[in-house]
Amino acid sequence: MTFRELGIDQDIADALETRGITQPFPIQEQAIPLALTGQDLIGQAKTGTGKTLGFGLPLIQRLGLEPGFGARALVVVPTRELAIQVAEDLELATSNRKTTVAAIYGGKAYEGQIAQIESGAQIIVGTPGRLIDLSKQKKLDLTKIEIMVLDEADEMLDLGFLPDVERLFNYTPDERQTMLFSATMPGAIVSLARKYQNRPVHIRANEPDEGHTKADIKQFIYRAHSLDKDEVVGRILQAEGRGKTVIFCKTKRQASKVSEELVDRGFNATALHGDMSQEARERSMAAFRAGKKDILVATEVAARGIDVDDVTHVINYTVPEDEKNYLHRTGRTGRAGRTGIAVTFVDWEDLTRWKHINEALQLGVADPVETYSSSKHLFEDLQIAAGTKGRLKPPSPKRDEPSGSRQGGGRNGGGRDAGSRSGGSRDGAARSGDRNRSAAAPREGGHAQPQHGDHEHKRPAANRNRRRTRGGSSQGSGPASS
């Protein structure tokens, strides 16, 4: 089956072929013919199975070769990163026609996004908050929307965007075509479909006997000690065939710390979390997607919707909150028909949460095997060469212990006990307790050897005394200041 056989126009298919995209995935085979007719639909498939082109290609084709001026299609996504990625996919598909795409999301200046809208972009891809803001400011007109898509609908509702989504639906005409795409189908999605769709067709691309997790992802669950995790991760990152890797952490601080630790160990890692500016987040994602960084250490919320096809490994540094988050995390690998590996660390205090996830997903690993960086099964499971250590380079010196700090003490080579450590206190040089004289200086001819800086901003004591006796002038009343 090819995209042309599904009814996709020649120019769109040619654009996809420039990136080697020639054969549709199951969700695309089912969704595209229906969507081309204008039918409302609900597309359900696991993450990483090609939902974006499933709604994107019919959307582009239905707008036509001359789509006119202004917003005609709206794609709503839960995160900034996903907005960027969906917009890039649609830009690829429209590269041979006049249709233009605008990515509208928070964390960026309004001016550039408003300029895209005012230039007449026909397809708007955005996050709910920024879309509503621009609509309120009368900068974005949604009254002529012909097609509206809700992508990753379950994640959007999990993040609390339901009121915003409903508001966006109300901004658009009732006669629009509406498509919802989601990995799962909770009750809230069903209610949303009943309220805003017109007799939708429900498409499910999963095999009836397929498990909750994707069959092309190998799952490894280990009971690991928190102090040994970094070493275990370092060894996994040297496994045979390891490509791009996403490491999920629970908190922003933990993500930053793990990223810094991996860089210190010699790995090419970058962080992605909510405390970073939008520009920094985009730089991290661009470097990861381009392969300049092959390890992305991210928090769950920041990494929602990451769509990078060639991720080979996912490491859950901490146990996810529930089974939905577990599916989301592990779904970052094994995408676009590829296979992947997912490794999950279970701390002792997380066993109860893990058992809940295990039961919900029927993984059959209620009691994960206790695993350390030296465990033989770790090397065998993940194809790590014997003798591999979790560090590619020696550790850097600690910032709070600079080189030589214990020998000189302070900035001038003498700290609190410089006299006792610097030049021979053990042979009695400083026994007199005279703290005004440098005990470290060797004596030549009965005089102390001058030290570096001894003559800066100083006058000999004899001169001060002589000036006092000569006239008591104010100049000689104390040490000279320069």
- Topology annotation, domain 217-381: Rossmann fold (3.40.50)
Angle, vertex CA 266, rays to CA 262 and CA 272, nearest 5: 35
Please choose, from the candidates 129, 123, 113, the residue with its C-alpha nearest in 3D space to the C-alpha of residue 52. 123
The answer to whether residue 479 scores a pLDDT higher than 70 is: no
CA atoms within 13 A on the CB side of 163: 2
pLDDT tens per residue across span 426-446? 344 334 444 444 434 444 444
The pLDDT, as a whole number, for residue 474 is: 42
The pLDDT, as a whole number, for residue 457 is: 43
The answer to whether residue 255 scores a pLDDT higher than 80 is: yes
Tracing tokens 């964390």 back to the chain, one arrives at 107
**Rounded to whole angstroms, how far apart are CA atoms 305 and 223?**
28
CA distances for 240 relative to 377, 395, 456, 470, angstroms: 15, 24, 63, 87
Average pLDDT of every residue of the chain: 82
pLDDT tens per residue across span 58-93? 999 999 998 989 999 999 999 888 899 899 999 999
| Residues above pLDDT 70, as percent of the chain | 79
Q: Are 74 and 147 in contact (CB under 8 A)?
A: yes
Residue 282 CB burial class (10 angstroms; 0-12, 13-18, ≥19): middle
Over residues 325-346, mean pLDDT: 86
The pLDDT, as a whole number, for residue 156 is: 85
Query: Phi/psi at 149 (nearest 5 deg)?
Result: -125, 135
CATH class belonging to 10-204: alpha beta
pLDDT tens per residue across span 261-303? 999 999 999 999 888 888 888 899 889 988 999 999 999 876 6
Identify the H or E element spanning 296.
strand 295-299
Domain boundaries, the chain: 10-204, 217-381
pLDDT tens per residue across span 396-431? 776 554 444 444 444 344 444 333 333 443 344 334
Q: Are 244 and 308 in contact (CB under 8 A)?
A: yes
Edge to edge, the sheet with strand 147-150 lists 101-104, 123-126, 73-76, 147-150, 177-182, 41-44, 201-204
The pLDDT, as a whole number, for residue 331 is: 83
What pTM was computed for the model?
Answer: 0.66
Q: Which residues contact 363 (CB under 8 A, 6 or more apart)?
A: 213, 219, 221, 357
The pLDDT, as a whole number, for residue 49 is: 75
